[in-house]
Amino acid sequence: MEQANPDAGDPNTSDSNGMGAWAQDGGRINGKFVEVTADRITHRFVSRGEISFSIQVNGNAFRGTASAIFYDAEGRKSRGPVVATMEGQRVVP
Protein backbone atom coordinates (compact mmCIF):
# COMPACT_ATOMS: atom_id res chain seq x y z
CA MET A 1 0.00 0.00 0.00
CA GLU A 2 1.08 3.51 -0.62
CA GLN A 3 -0.53 6.70 0.68
CA ALA A 4 0.24 10.40 0.30
CA ASN A 5 -1.48 13.50 1.66
CA PRO A 6 -1.93 16.42 -0.73
CA ASP A 7 -0.93 19.97 0.19
CA ALA A 8 -4.61 20.98 0.31
CA GLY A 9 -5.20 18.86 3.43
CA ASP A 10 -4.31 19.82 7.01
CA PRO A 11 -1.81 22.71 6.69
CA ASN A 12 0.27 21.35 9.59
CA THR A 13 0.66 17.74 8.52
CA SER A 14 -0.17 17.48 4.82
CA ASP A 15 3.39 16.76 3.79
CA SER A 16 3.34 13.06 4.58
CA ASN A 17 3.84 9.77 2.82
CA GLY A 18 3.00 6.25 3.94
CA MET A 19 3.90 2.76 2.80
CA GLY A 20 3.07 -0.64 4.15
CA ALA A 21 2.22 -4.23 3.54
CA TRP A 22 -0.41 -6.79 4.45
CA ALA A 23 -0.58 -10.58 4.48
CA GLN A 24 -3.29 -13.18 4.87
CA ASP A 25 -3.02 -15.31 8.00
CA GLY A 26 -5.68 -18.00 7.90
CA GLY A 27 -9.00 -16.15 7.80
CA ARG A 28 -7.51 -12.80 8.82
CA ILE A 29 -5.58 -10.07 7.04
CA ASN A 30 -2.85 -8.45 9.13
CA GLY A 31 -0.92 -5.41 8.04
CA LYS A 32 1.15 -2.45 9.04
CA PHE A 33 2.06 0.83 7.44
CA VAL A 34 4.42 3.60 8.41
CA GLU A 35 3.68 7.25 7.67
CA VAL A 36 6.41 9.89 7.79
CA THR A 37 5.60 13.59 8.12
CA ALA A 38 7.67 16.62 7.13
CA ASP A 39 7.38 20.25 8.19
CA ARG A 40 5.62 22.16 5.40
CA ILE A 41 7.98 25.13 5.63
CA THR A 42 11.41 23.56 6.28
CA HIS A 43 10.60 20.21 4.59
CA ARG A 44 12.46 18.47 7.44
CA PHE A 45 11.36 15.18 8.98
CA VAL A 46 8.96 15.76 11.91
CA SER A 47 7.42 12.46 12.93
CA ARG A 48 6.61 8.87 12.14
CA GLY A 49 3.39 6.96 12.72
CA GLU A 50 3.18 3.18 12.83
CA ILE A 51 -0.32 1.82 12.20
CA SER A 52 -1.09 -1.89 12.57
CA PHE A 53 -4.38 -3.56 11.68
CA SER A 54 -6.07 -6.95 11.65
CA ILE A 55 -9.33 -7.59 9.83
CA GLN A 56 -11.62 -10.53 9.13
CA VAL A 57 -13.20 -10.47 5.66
CA ASN A 58 -16.60 -12.09 5.20
CA GLY A 59 -17.93 -11.80 1.64
CA ASN A 60 -18.34 -8.08 0.92
CA ALA A 61 -17.83 -6.99 4.53
CA PHE A 62 -14.96 -6.74 7.00
CA ARG A 63 -14.49 -6.16 10.74
CA GLY A 64 -11.30 -5.58 12.63
CA THR A 65 -9.11 -3.46 14.83
CA ALA A 66 -6.26 -1.01 14.36
CA SER A 67 -3.65 0.52 16.62
CA ALA A 68 -1.39 3.52 15.96
CA ILE A 69 1.70 4.80 17.76
CA PHE A 70 3.42 8.06 16.81
CA TYR A 71 7.05 9.06 17.36
CA ASP A 72 8.81 12.43 17.20
CA ALA A 73 11.92 13.19 15.11
CA GLU A 74 14.18 11.80 17.86
CA GLY A 75 12.26 8.49 17.97
CA ARG A 76 10.47 9.16 21.28
CA LYS A 77 6.85 8.04 21.51
CA SER A 78 4.69 11.16 21.33
CA ARG A 79 1.19 9.64 21.15
CA GLY A 80 -0.53 6.31 21.42
CA PRO A 81 -1.38 3.66 21.22
CA VAL A 82 -4.55 5.01 19.64
CA VAL A 83 -6.95 2.12 19.03
CA ALA A 84 -9.91 1.83 16.71
CA THR A 85 -12.54 -0.70 15.70
CA MET A 86 -13.16 -0.89 11.97
CA GLU A 87 -16.14 -2.15 10.03
CA GLY A 88 -16.80 -1.80 6.33
CA GLN A 89 -19.02 -2.93 3.49
CA ARG A 90 -18.14 -3.05 -0.21
CA VAL A 91 -20.09 -0.49 -2.20
CA VAL A 92 -21.82 -2.21 -5.08
CA PRO A 93 -23.60 -0.08 -7.72
Domain ranges in the chain are 2-89
Rounded CA separation 41/60 (Å): 43
Average pLDDT over residues 56-64: 94
Q: How confident is the prediction for the chain on average, in pLDDT? A: 87
* 7-16, 18-27, 56-65, 82-91, range with the lowest pLDDT: 7-16
Relative to beta strand 16-25, strand 2-4 is antiparallel
pTM across the whole model: 0.77
User: pLDDT tier at 38 (50, 70, 90 boundaries)?
Assistant: confident
Q: Residues near 38 by Cβ (< 8 Å), separated by ≥ 6? A: 15, 16, 44, 45, 46
Q: Would strands 61-72 and 77-89 be described as parallel, antiparallel, or unpaired?
A: antiparallel
Model pLDDT for residues 11-30, shown as the tens digit of each residue: 665 567 788 999 999 889 99
Higher local confidence (pLDDT), 89 or 5? 89
Q: What is the largest CA-CA distance in the chain?
A: 47
